[in-house]
């Protein structure tokens, strides 16, 4: 199957940090379809040879295992081409049409790694140039809008030009092998599904923590914040994967229908729950790995006196038969004490205790997403028998755990998130992409939080870089009698 993959924003960070390494890995693994052409599009004045040299130099900055040898890059470079073009200029679109007409590819994928403000202009001009035929697919990067209204506006513009089956709204978390294993855990094994409900689960915690600050994205992040950047998309998609009902099959719409039901079942916000169940924070100066780390307001591109949140913790519930009364906790932040993403499923204690066990001990399932990829199942078991006090020790339980490391088991066979998603777009598989009604429902749910913050003159709570966020986050979960993992 021949394909043209057009990367708008072809000299930008996303392309050289994520997309090109993913495409090279697919090429190296032999999974990239033959007859492909990858065209970088940007406003820089470059030749094909100069673009190839630029991408080659950028590979020096990706992790060692993903760098090509000289011979490998020489073969990969044969797929790379460049087109100088300004997406905001209607006069430049005939050049794009001419480039695509150089050959007749079975599939044309247009990947918009650009500012969302260009999406509407792009769609209008693509239609005017006659480039929205049935073989065309468009990939939209987040954030898709700034609020519900702008998200609807972008979706309406795109849908006027492309059908829903041509639109791939990407959330790279859905492409992570660990998230794929989350679906496999639930719907490919009989072990856990009967326990996946309110009668046996006490609470579920989703943590996406980063040690890094905002790096060079100050201007972007200061107008976005953690709620829009992480909660509205990544965290809610993980919540859907945990909370959804089993789909009738593995088809894209069957899966997305069930995720949509979860989003529609999230308890609506009230003034009281907004005060008690939502915590926002902003990092101040602190220490990361023994080195000093500056405050958020000192970052380049951040406005003085900024109220943008770099941390969010919240409590919600899925108001349906399966999950009634089970709290779901979400937290995410920058400059935290560690880099980790995981989902912790905390089960209820045994209903009748006949053994002695540590205070508060109960079974836990921890699904690690990054940097570790695997499962931990925490159980209780008898320790070593003590002949001098046999009766006492035989009635005492101690924590033990089963640890499954998927990287060790499948390491050489693993497919990265962007590699999987790019191959799915080329093949036309929508399972791991977000439908417009899912996105709109997620925006609808977070919008009351955004509105409440507009009217909050106090701003985000401060926390020191290198900690786990504001103490109010711990107080929020403690009101239910629970604690975050590192505090228990």
Residues recognised as catalytic = 234
Instruction: Tell which residue, 204, 15, 16, has the closest CA to residue 113.
Output: 15
User: Residue 208 and residue 331: Cα distance in Å, rounded?
Assistant: 6
Instruction: Tell which residue, 84, 89, 8, has the closest CA to residue 43.
Output: 84
Alpha helix (H) residue ranges in 213-311: 218-222, 225-226, 236-243, 252-265, 271-277
**Which H/E stretch holds residue 381?**
strand 374-382
Q: How far is CA 402 from the centre of its chain?
A: 26
The residue with tokens 């598989």 is 429
What lies within 8 Å, CB to CB, of 413 at 6+ separation is: none
What lies within 8 Å, CB to CB, of 454 at 6+ separation is: none
Q: What radius of gyration do the chain's Cα atoms show?
A: 24
The CA-atom distances, in angstroms, between 386 and each of 261, 361, 382, 390 are 53, 22, 11, 5
User: Residue 308 and residue 139: Cα distance in Å, rounded?
Assistant: 28
- The token pair at 471 is 């103490």
- For the chain, the helix, strand and coil percentages under 3-state DSSP, each to the nearest 5: 40, 25, 35
The DSSP bridge pattern shows strands 167-169 and 136-140 to be: parallel
The residue with tokens 């997406």 is 87
Alpha helix (H) residue ranges in 367-416: 390-394, 406-410
What lies within 8 Å, CB to CB, of 157 at 6+ separation is: 119, 120, 123, 124
End-to-end CA distance of the chain: 53
- 331 DSSP β-pair partners: 207, 313
Q: How far is CA 487 from the centre of its chain?
A: 25
- 286 DSSP β-pair partners: 293
3-state DSSP call for residue 168?
Answer: strand
Determine contact, residues 425/169, Cβ cutoff 8 Å.
no
């Amino acid at each position: 199957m021949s394909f043209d993959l057009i990367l708008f924003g072809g000299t930008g960070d996303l392309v050289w940090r994520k997309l090109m390494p993913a495409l090279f890995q697919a090429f190296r693994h032999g999974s990239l379809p033959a007859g492909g052409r990858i065209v970088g599009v940007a406003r820089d004045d470059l030749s094909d040879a100069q673009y190839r040299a630029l991408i080659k130099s950028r590979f020096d900055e990706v992790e060692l295992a993903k760098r090509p040898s000289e011979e490998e890059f020489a073969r990969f470079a044969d797929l790379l081409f460049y087109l100088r073009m300004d997406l905001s200029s209607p006069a430049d679109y005939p050049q794009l049409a001419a480039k695509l007409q150089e050959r007749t590819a079975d599939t044309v994928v247009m990947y918009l790694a650009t500012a969302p403000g260009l999406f509407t202009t792009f769609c209008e001009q693509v239609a005017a140039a006659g480039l929205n035929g049935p073989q065309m697919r468009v990939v939209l990067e987040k954030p898709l809008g700034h609020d519900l209204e702008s998200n609807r506006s972008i979706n309406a513009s795109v849908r006027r030009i492309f059908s829903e089956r041509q639109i791939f709204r990407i959330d790279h978390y859905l492409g992570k092998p660990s998230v794929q294993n989350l679906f496999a855990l639930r719907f490919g094994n009989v072990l856990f599904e009967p326990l996946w409900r309110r009668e046996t689960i006490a609470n579920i915690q989703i943590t996406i923590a980063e040690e890094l600050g905002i790096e060079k994205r100050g201007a972007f992040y200061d107008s976005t914040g953690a709620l829009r950047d992480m909660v509205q998309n990544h965290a809610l998609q993980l919540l859907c994967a945990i909370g959804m009902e089993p789909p009738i099959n593995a088809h894209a719409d069957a899966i997305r229908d069930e995720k949509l039901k979860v989003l529609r079942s999230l308890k609506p916000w009230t003034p009281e729950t907004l005060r008690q169940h939502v915590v926002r924070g902003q990092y101040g100066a602190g220490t990361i790995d023994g080195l000093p780390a500056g405050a958020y307001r000192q970052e380049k591109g951040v406005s003085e006196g900024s109220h943008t949140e770099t941390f969010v913790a919240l409590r919600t519930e899925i108001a349906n038969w399966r999950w009634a009364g089970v709290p779901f906790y979400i937290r995410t932040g920058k400059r935290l004490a560690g880099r980790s993403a995981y989902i912790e499923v905390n089960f209820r204690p045994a209903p009748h205790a006949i053994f002695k066990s540590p205070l508060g001990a109960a079974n836990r399932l921890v699904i690690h997403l990054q940097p570790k990829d695997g499962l931990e199942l925490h159980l209780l078991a008898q320790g070593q028998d003590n002949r001098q006090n046999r009766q006492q020790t035989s009635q005492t339980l101690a924590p033990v755990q089963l640890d499954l490391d998927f990287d060790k088991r499948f390491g050489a066979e693993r497919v990265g998130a962007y590699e999987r998603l790019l191959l799915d777009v080329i093949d036309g598989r929508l399972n791991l992409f977000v439908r417009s009604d899912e996105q709109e429902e997620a925006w609808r749910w977070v919008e009351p939080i955004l509105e409440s913050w507009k009217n909050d003159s106090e701003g985000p709570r401060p926390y020191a870089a290198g900690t786990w966020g504001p103490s109010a986050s711990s107080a929020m979960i403690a009101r239910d009698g629970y604690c975050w993992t590192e505090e228990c």
